[in-house]
Amino acid sequence: MSDPRKTWRGMFPAVTTQFHADFSLDLPATGRVIEALIRDGVSGLVMCGTVGENCSLTRDEKGELIALAASVAKGRVPVIVGVAEYTPVFAAETAKLAQAKGADGLMVMPPMVYPAKPRETLAHFRTVAAASDLPIMIYNNPPSYRTDVTPAMLATLADVDTIVAFKESSGDTRRLVDVRNMTGDRFIPFCGLDDVVLECVALGAVGWVSGMSNVFPREGETLFRLVRDGRLAEAMPIYDWFMPLLHLDARPDLVQCIKLCEHIMGRGTDLTRPPRLALDASERAEVEAMMKTALANRPSLPDVGLPPA
C-alpha cells in the first residue's frame, strides 16, 4: 500500500455512480467515467461519496463499485472509499469490505443516524479505524450532515495511527490553520468544498476532494496545481471562470447538478437514484445556462504537467 503522505495530494474527484434507466447499477458506464478521469490527469478518486450517492447503494453494490475502481485504476491513482453509515457496526463492515475489494483508503463520515454528541462521533471513528488497516480521511460536513467534527475533536484522534487526513467541508477555512496549530503536520489537510478551494490550498490544504471537477477535471487539477505552486496570477482567471459552477457543489441538490453538467459534457448520464429526483424544468434551465456560459468562455490552461489532452 502506498504512503498516503506521498500520494494523497492533488485533486480527487468524488466520482459519480452511473445507473441504467431502471436505476440499476451501470458498472461499464461507471468504469468509463473512472478511466476518463484518470486519463485527464486527476490525482486520485473518491468512490461512494456523497456525489457517488453512497446512501442509496446496497452493500453489494458498494463492493462492486470498489472492485471496479481498483481494477480500472490499476494503482495509477489512489482509490478512497466513502463510509457513510448509520452505526459503527455498519461502518466497520463497510471498511472491511473496502479493504477486501482493493481500496487504498477510507473517507469516513460521522454516524448518519442523528446529530451525534462529540463523544459519540469520536467513538464511531475509533470503531471504524479498528476494523481495517486502511488509512482514513475524516470527513467533516456540518452544513449537510449536522454533526460538526471540530479541530479540537480531530486533535483527540491523533493517537489513532490509521487516521491520517481530514476533509474540511464546513466552509470555514480558518479551521485548516486551527488544526495545524493544534496538531502540526499530524493530519493531511484536504479541501472538501469546491468554492473555497483556492483559499484552502493557500492556507495549506494539499488535497481537494471535488464534485464539479468530474465535469472539468483538467481545469480542476490545473487550478489546484497553480495555487499549490504559488502561481496565483494564472490561477485567478480560472477560479473566476469556474466559480459559478463551483457554487453548485454547496447546494443540497449538488449531485443532480453535477450529473447534469457531466451529461452535457458527454461524460456520463444525468440519472440519479431516488430519493434524489431530477431537477425541475427551471432548475435544469438554470444549470444549462451556466454551462453554456462556461463553455463559451472556457479558459486556455497553462502547463502544470498534465498529460496531453
CA angle 297-194-231, nearest 5°?
A: 65
Q: Is residue 140 within 8 Å of residue 163, measured between CB atoms?
A: no
Cell numbers given for 29? 458506464
Query: Would the annotation count 77 as a binding residue?
Result: no
- Please spell the DSSP secondary structure of the chain, one letter per residue: ---HHHHS-EEEEBPPPPB-TTS-B-HHHHHHHHHHHHHTT-S-EEESSTTTTGGGS-HHHHHHHHHHHHHHHTTSS-EEEEE--SSHHHHHHHHHHHHHTT-SEEEEPPPSSS---HHHHHHHHHHHHHH-SS-EEEEE-HHHHS----HHHHHTTTT-TTEEEEEE-SS-THHHHHHHHHHTTSSEEEE--GGGHHHHHHTT--EEEESGGGTSHHHHHHHHHHHHTT-HHHHHHHHHHHHHHHGGGGSTTHHHHHHHHHHHTTSS-----TTSPPP-HHHHHHHHHHHHHHHHTPPP---SSPPP-
Any idea which residues carry the catalytic annotation?
139, 167
Mark the binding-site residues, compressed into ranges.
209
